Every structure is written in structure tokens, then in C-alpha cells.
Chain A
Amino acid sequence: MKHRLTTRLWHWINAAALIVLFMSGLNISNAHRFLYWGDYGFDPKDAWLSVVRFPAWATIPQRYDLAEARDWHSLAAWVFAIGLLVMWVASLVNRHFRRDVATGLSDWKPAAWKRALAQHTRDDVEPDGRYNAPQKIAYGLVLGVLLPLMIFTGLAISPGIEPAVPWLVDLLGGRQSARSIHFITAWLIFAFAVGHVSLAFAPGQRAALKAMLTGRTGEKQHD
């Protein structure tokens, strides 16, 4: 798999933005560690989830500071949102999405998953230089659902945006629901990132990591 410069740039800028957003988000979560469904919620006894207090080492800044955490969150949100928009426009225009990420009917058949598994477990089945079915689905879900959902739920919990798009808040089930979904989706993206990073550092995956850094795998090209 080769990666275009635009893909690589977005990948790393986005990674940096997500780290800042996630860690400053944990700081913001510490301000009121209770999540609710619906339009309102302020009483911990009505919460559907009591969130743990995140330790200082996991937050930006590295102490409880709601104001500064919100500064970082608001700054990185621009980088994240504009980056995602540019990435999507570029991927549609240069057909990266359609060629490499969009699934076909065959990707949803068991055979495609068996083949993906075989690429990892059997020595005689070589990766073909393309994303396999679970990769396409995972990337499609993250790029197309989870990351945009972070932006939409983030906008929905901003009282200054709501008068412009009141339907968005209604669609998400009210401001406190949007806040809950924002929190859940952040952790789904974290879970993806853990899997993604583990796989990137797994034995035999140096080519993939190198491809995202330099654009070339240094191995036989299949593209």
C-alpha cells in the first residue's frame, strides 16, 4: 500500500489533533463527571453513568483546569474539523475512498473475512497490497461515522451554535444526549486507535508503518 502525501499529512495532523482533543476532553469531563440522556441533567442521581475522575497524567493540561482544557479543545477542534473536511473532499476527488476504502458486496461475505484472517495466520497467503474487508469496514466506520459524529455532537453541545441548527440537537436527542454520545464516541475512537496502533507496531507490519511515514513501503510494490 502506498500513501499519497495528502493522506499522510492528514493522518498525522489528525492524530495530533485527536490526542489533544481526547486528553483535554478528559480534563473537561472531570468538571462534571455525570452523563445524562435528554435535554437536561444536573443531578448525579439522574445520571446513566458516573464517569471516573481521570488522573492528571491523562489530561491536558496535566492538572485540573477547565478553562485551559477548553482552550486546547476549541483550538484542536478547528484542526480536526477542517482536516476531516479536506480529507473527505480530497478522498472523493482523487478516488482514494472509492478505490481503497469503499466496500463492495464481496467485502461483506465470509470468504473476504477468511481471506483477511489467512493473510495474518498463513505463510502461504500474502497480503495483496490492498485493504482487506475488516480494514475497509473499520476505516469506513471511523472516517465516515465516528469522526463526523464527534464534530456534530460537539457542535450540538455549543449553545452558540444551537440557534443555527436546532434540528441537530433534536436529532441527537437533546443536549445532554449529544454530550453522552460525544463521550461514548470519543472512547470508541480511542478503542480504534489502540487497535490501530497495536497493529501498526505488530511484528511484520513495519512496511505499513513506513508507508504512512514516508509513503513507500520499501518492499515490492503491488499498486
Chain B
Amino acid sequence: MTEIKRRTLLAGMAALPAAACSEIADTGPARSLFETVEGWHRGAHRALAARQALAPEYAPDERSPDIRGNGSISVDTPEYREGLANGFADWRLAVGGLVDTPLRLGLDELKALPQRTQITRHDCVEGWSAIAEWTGPQLSALLDMAGVREEANFVIFRCADTLYGRPYYESVDMVDAYHPQTIIAHALNGEPLPEKNGAPLRMRIERQLGYKHAKYLTGIEAVASFEDIYDGKGGYWEDTNGYQWYAGI
């Protein structure tokens, strides 16, 4: 084998899988294989960690200086501006869908519920992490108040913000919905939630990546399936960019 042939062969060996991967990924079977594999990861995580196993919590001095605002960092409506000015006196969180008693709760009502404060790490899908203290009622308390029906399999989070013209939303299964660290945070490091971090309310889904932690929260909806919601993938980034619905990796 001559030197040139050898090099060509090596370059070809490197380029082939990459080009092939790009082609294969667009096919239906590849898509369903990726989804199957995502299910394996979720299954493995759920098998290895107890359903209620906690994400690590940190000491106050281990917090990072800031929590980056990523994705939407505001809501561009007059009502939101007004809310920012008056402490979101008129903000209501709707709890509905497959529940016995739909609820509409203001911030004061949410703050009157038993609160959980946790110093946890926020991991973005991009790779960075930040640590902060979050406070709010557990989602499980709200779901119990509303009485979730048996046929519900997922909880949808509706948001006030839009990104590239589409409303943000997210969803989790009942394991993460009832997880003790899944809270509706209204405070960050002891202060009302800042605008860039989702004021006045945001989700904390501590065992998954940041895009699951819906900000500017307006509604919680128990559903049997999310197939009919927007593009049916269960979240904004899932619909628009093909992100994994299970974001525990």
C-alpha cells in the first residue's frame, strides 16, 4: 500500500461514518431507535435510583454567584410588565386537566402552602451548571389538592413566555411530578424569583436538565397523553429542535 493510498483510506474511514450518520439520522427507523434508546436510559435511571431518590443538595456557601438566564429571559407583554411592577398581584396559576377540582391560585396562596427550600444544581443541556437555593410548594401538594385522576400519566407545564414565536411548555411523567424536590419555585436565594429566571413562578425538576424547568409558569395540567399538545413531543425544545423528552442524561 502506498503512502497516499493509506492516507486516503484513513480519511475515508473517518468521513464515512460521519456522512452516513447524518443520512441515517433523518430516517424513520433511526428516529424510533433513538427514542427506544432514550427509553432505555430512562428505564435504567429509574431502576438504579429509587423513585424518590434525591438530587444532591448543597450548603449555602457552595452556591454559585449567579444563575444564568437562558432561553426566554422575559415575557414581552404589557400584563407581564405590569406584574413586574406590582409584584405579580394578579398572576394566577391554573391547575387543571384530569383533576377532580380545578384550581386557580395566586402567589399568596402558593406561599401559604407548606414550602420546600433546596439548594440544588441546575444543569443546562449545553453543559454548564449553577447552584442556587430555590423555595416553593411541592408540585405533589398541588396535585393532591386538585385530586389527579387515575388516567393521568403526565403533567404539562404551561408558560407565559414565547420563544421564536411559539409558546413555551414542558411535561414530565408522574414519577418526576410527585418527586419531593419537584417544586414550584417563587424564590431564588431568598429573594422573589428574578425576571431572567422565570418570575414569578418556575418549575424545578431536579433530576433533569434545565429545559424541563419551565419558567413564567401559568398552568399545570394533568393529561393522559401529550400527543395532541402542539407538535406532540411533550415540550418546546422537543417539538422545535428534536431534544430528548427525557432529559436525565
Interface status of B112 (Cβ within 8 A of chain A): no
- Whether A40 lies near B121 (C-beta < 8 A) is yes
Given known contacts A19-B14, A163-B55, A164-B53, A42 and B22 CB-to-CB distance under 8 angstroms: no
- Whether A74 lies near B127 (C-beta < 8 A) is no
- Whether A197 lies near B10 (C-beta < 8 A) is yes
- Whether A71 lies near B244 (C-beta < 8 A) is yes
Interface status of A169 (Cβ within 8 A of chain B): yes
Interface status of A75 (Cβ within 8 A of chain B): yes
- Whether A71 lies near B25 (C-beta < 8 A) is yes
- Whether A160 lies near B41 (C-beta < 8 A) is yes
- Whether B56 lies near A169 (C-beta < 8 A) is yes
Binary contact readout A155-170 vs B (1 if CB under 8 angstroms, 0 otherwise): 0011111111110010
- What is the size, in residues, of chain B's interface with A at 8 Å between Cβ atoms? 55
**Cross-interface CB contact of A60 among B18, B33, B48, cutoff 8 Å:** B18
A71: chain B residues within 8 A (beta carbon)? 25, 34, 37-38, 242, 244
A161: chain B residues within 8 A (beta carbon)? 45, 48-49, 248-249
Size bin of chain A's contact surface: 35 or more
Binary contact readout B1-26 vs A (1 if CB under 8 angstroms, 0 otherwise): 10000100010001101110110010
- Whether B127 lies near A67 (C-beta < 8 A) is no
CA distance A43 to B67 in the complex (A): 10
Nearest chain-A residue to B1 (Cβ)?
A201
Given known contacts A41-B128, A160-B249, A163-B55, A175 and B33 CB-to-CB distance under 8 angstroms: no
- Chain A 137-159 interface residues, beta-carbon cutoff 8 Å to B: 157-159
CA distance A43 to B18 in the complex (A): 31
- Whether A166 lies near B56 (C-beta < 8 A) is yes
The interface-forming segment of B74-82, B144-152, B182-190, B206-214 is B206-214
Nearest chain-A residue to B51 (Cβ)?
A163
- Whether B121 lies near A160 (C-beta < 8 A) is no
Interface status of B90 (Cβ within 8 A of chain A): no
Interface status of A16 (Cβ within 8 A of chain B): yes
Interface status of B86 (Cβ within 8 A of chain A): no
The interface-forming segment of A2-10, A26-34, A86-94 is A26-34
- Whether B41 lies near A74 (C-beta < 8 A) is yes
- Whether B55 lies near A39 (C-beta < 8 A) is no
Known: A161-B49, A175-B121; 12 extra A-B contacts, CB below 8 A, are A40-B131, A57-B15, A60-B18, A61-B25, A67-B241, A67-B244, A74-B249, A75-B33, A160-B207, A161-B45, A164-B49, A201-B1
In the A-B complex, list the 4 residue pairs whose CB atoms are closest, starting with the nearest. A160-B248, A164-B49, A163-B53, A42-B128
